[in-house]
Amino acid sequence: MSNTQRLPASLTPLDVALDLLLRDLKPVAANECPPTDTPRCDADEMRELKTWPPHDAAAVDGWALRASDLVGASSYTPLPLTNEPLWVEVGESIPDGCDCVLDEDSVDRSGPIAQAVAEAIPGQGVRRKGGEVVETSRIINVWRPGDLGHAMYRPRLRVVNVPGGAMTATLVARSLRDAGIELASVEAAARDAASIGKALDTGACDLLLIVGGSGVGRTDAAVKAMADRGEVLAHGLALQPGRTAAIGRITGIPVLALPGAPDQALAAWWALVLPVLERLSGRSKRQSFTLPLARKIASTVGIAELVLLEETDGAWMPLSVGDLALETVARAQAWLLVSPASEGYAAGTPSEAYILRE
């Protein structure tokens, strides 16, 4: 059984999404704002970043249930549920008494009593508490967009945290402040479109980031708020991981809705946010390095997949494809994006990869 998120039948190609974001986007006006101070991280925050997730959390949007209550359930033999199922979204805590998360179609709520139409195993759709232990500094550094503190063009950003995406919002805010970017960070009062919409003020920013609430499920609150305030250009991208990210514009300002889970958000950050920051700041592209592949990379046609790499004996050794587990990110030295038109690359292929820690 898979933890894969259920997605729309049609995904927007990554290059199309990026073109839509960058269209008519120019470097921001020169400003004289002093570089922001490097933020400090208190002990509780450091512990949260070292061990993730801090609690059993949903890996997908879906129904939180107990696997032992679903034995024998199928579309041919629906199983009435004793208790009303609870809906959770990526990053949210798993309710007490539940040990799995099923997608929306696995529960039939058309009648007076909810019925399960699929079985599950314990841990399905769940990220276990403390499942990934990482070195905090190495995770924060991979988000950093480079030192823009003394750049002539320094974009102003607004980060809106949707409840449930606290860790990702912390990583985003710290990396931006470390890079000297002017930043306003706010939290929506609740995980609903109205609350998020009230926080989407673009009056004093050049780029708006929403963290959380973008999952392709029942309550894509961040995306609905974006639509209510402006225009949604794409929701559901042909990018792995990071498929549930969304892009749009509000009063001409580019807006990106990042998934609440840090690994999913990081993919959208590298593939979409960094190119936008480069355009707004007038900064040259990120540092890259070309080495042959130590072994082949197999990829899915039609999906742009991120690959984590480690330099070994003068070659790039692939560590993972389409998966950004934080413990692997902490170990990796570079990443590359496999073209959606490709099935992958053969061993020995010279491959340009972006350096993670400049």
Residues 194, 252 within the same domain: yes
Residue 146 belongs to a domain: yes
Tokens 């990120």 -> residue: 286
Q: How far is CA 2 from CA 6, 96, 101, 256, in A?
A: 10, 22, 11, 27
Strand 156-161 vs strand 182-187: parallel, antiparallel, or unpaired? parallel
**Cis omega (within 30 of 0) on the bond before 95?**
no
- Domain-terminating residue out of 261, 281, 301: 281
Take residue 316 and report the two structure tokens written for it.
């790039």
Question: Does an H or E element contain 48, and which?
Answer: helix 43-50
Domain identity same for 305 and 237: no
Q: Is residue 242 part of a domain?
A: yes
75-96 confidence digits (pLDDT tens):
999 999 998 899 887 777 899 9
Q: In the prediction, which pLDDT does 2 show?
A: 38
Q: Which residue reads 């038109």 in tokens?
A: 341
Q: Could you tell me the CA-to-CA distances from 51 to 95, 161, 246 in Å, in that order? A: 20, 20, 27
- Cα distance between residue 278 and residue 148, in whole Å: 10
Alpha carbons 116 and 127: distance in angstroms, whole number: 22
Sheet hosting strand 115-116, strand order edge to edge: 79-80, 115-116, 107-108
Say whether both 174 and 242 belong to one domain. yes
Confidence (pLDDT) at 261: 82
The answer to whether position 8 is within a domain reads: no
Number of domains in the chain: 3
CA distance linking residue 270 with residue 101, whole number of Å: 28
pLDDT reported for residue 180 = 77
Residue 326 lies in a domain: yes
Annotate 59-83 with three-state secondary structure.
CCCEEEECHHHCCCCCCCCCEECCC
192 and 268 inside one domain: yes
Q: Which residues contact 33 (CB under 8 A, 6 or more apart)?
A: 154, 182
Q: Which of 224, 259, 281 is the last residue of a domain?
A: 281
pLDDT number for residue 53: 73
**What DSSP string describes 198-246?**
HH---TT-SEEEEES---SSS--HHHHHHHHHSEEEEESBSEES-TT-E
Given a contact cutoff of 8 angstroms between Cβ atoms, the answer to whether 171 and 138 are in contact is: no
Instruction: Give 148's contacts (C-beta < 8 A, 6+ positions apart).
Output: 154, 155, 179, 180, 181, 277, 281, 283
Q: Which domain holds residue 97?
A: 57-127
Query: Is 209 in the same domain as 318?
Result: no
- Same-domain status, 171 and 120: no
Pair 223, 328 in one domain: no
Q: CATH no. for residue 76?
A: 2.170.190.11
- If asked whether residues 20 and 166 sit together in one domain, one would say yes
Same domain, yes or no: 144 and 266? yes
Domain boundary among 65, 100, 127: 127
Residue 177 belongs to domain with CATH number: 3.40.980.10
What token pair was written down for 9? Answer: 């039948």
Q: Is 4 inside a domain boundary?
A: no
Is residue 241 a part of any domain in this protein?
Answer: yes
What backbone phi and psi angles, to 5 degrees, belong to 232?
A: -95, 120
Same domain, 204 and 335: no
CATH number at residue 351: 2.40.340
Whether 342 is in a domain gets the answer yes
Asked whether residue 197 falls in the same domain as residue 297, the answer is no
- Give 181-199 pLDDT, tens digit per residue: 888 999 999 888 999 999 9
pLDDT tens string, the chain, 358 residues long: the values are: 334 444 445 789 999 999 999 999 988 876 544 444 433 444 444 445 566 677 888 887 789 999 999 999 999 999 999 988 998 877 778 999 999 999 889 999 999 999 999 999 999 999 888 776 666 667 777 887 765 555 557 889 999 998 876 778 888 888 888 777 888 999 999 888 999 999 998 888 999 999 988 875 555 889 999 999 999 999 999 999 998 899 999 999 999 999 888 888 999 999 999 999 989 988 767 789 999 999 999 999 999 999 999 999 999 999 999 999 888 998 999 999 999 999 999 999 999 999 997 6
Q: How far apart are CA 232 and CA 246, in angstroms?
A: 7
Q: What pLDDT sits at residue 152?
A: 59
Same domain, 155 and 31: yes
| pLDDT computed for residue 358 by the predictor | 66
Residues 6+ apart with CB under 8 A from 205: 155, 156, 157, 158, 184, 253
- The overall pTM is greater than 0.85: no
Domain-embedded: residue 1: no
Question: For residue 334, what are the CA distances in angstroms to 49, 269, 307, 324, 342?
Answer: 21, 15, 9, 12, 20
Per-residue confidence (pLDDT) for residue 339, from 0 to 100: 93
Closest CA to 181 of 150, 152, 149, 207: 149
Distance, in Å, from the CA atom of 294 to the CA atom of 308, rounded to the nearest integer, reads 13
